[in-house]
Amino acid sequence: MKPAQGEICPGRARADCWILASGSPRRRELLGLTGWQFHVRVVGVDEASIRGEAPEAYVRRVAAAKAQTAASLHLETTLILAADTIVVDDDRLLGKPADASEAMAMLMALRGRTHRVLTALVWIVPGRQSPLVEVCETEVPMRTYSEAQVRRYVESGSPFDKAGGYGIQDAGFQPVDIKALEGCFANVMGLPLCHLTRGMRALGNEPPEDVPMQCQAHTAYDCKVSERILKGAER
């Protein structure tokens, strides 16, 4: 049977055919470690924050909007996953910098301090009345890097598609003090894999790969929280 227009996985929803509603190459990279087969559906939504909106409310709302937009594209029989990540510096929400000046300002403000990164994962599941939501929060200690290092990093163009203007995985700049980091590395990249696994298991889908092992090998990070997350004892 030929799929309907916009329908990537015809027929009933199944674990080997689902949608990642994201254009992030880092999310695709991380999701690829799990062994699950998926298709990418890039969707556009308004990511502007609402005045007075709490960080968790923001990421939940934007991730849900992405999932719902993908679900509206004739994908009624397909499991859909969307995510949104935000950097929180005190009470400020830091999204993707609009230009070099904003990237410089963000990175200099974060230098030598600890901030939070929140990611919301939202699943829309055929036959389920309400979306499934997981939220991960990581405290991120930053190095005391120099202004010259920041300037070179900004000139490379790397900050502009990343919340907070940096990538934890960017080895050339190394913005994060990895030795002091205790939470989820993958969350700071944009897709907390153990939270993803926890959510998928709640939907009856076991990952084909050992996700914590694959994640730690890929990121070269000795994670201390994966077991607690998978047991539901860690946010």
DSSP structure class, residue 165: G
Which residue from 80, 84, 82 is spatially nearest to 57, judged by alpha carbons? 84
Say which residues have a Cβ less than 8 Å from residue 229's Cβ, sequence separation at least 6.
136, 184, 192, 194, 195, 198, 235
Displacement of CA 119 from its chain's centroid (Å): 5
16, 84, 177, 210: which one is catalytic?
Answer: 84
Say which residues have a Cβ less than 8 Å from residue 54's Cβ, sequence separation at least 6.
none
In this structure, the strands spanning 18-20 and 114-124 are unpaired
84 is catalytic: yes
The full length of the chain comes to: 235
Say which residues have a Cβ less than 8 Å from residue 82's Cβ, sequence separation at least 6.
20, 21, 22, 43, 63, 64, 66, 67, 70, 121, 122, 124
Which residue from 5, 6, 7 is spatially nearest to 77, judged by alpha carbons? 7
Catalytic annotation, residues: 84
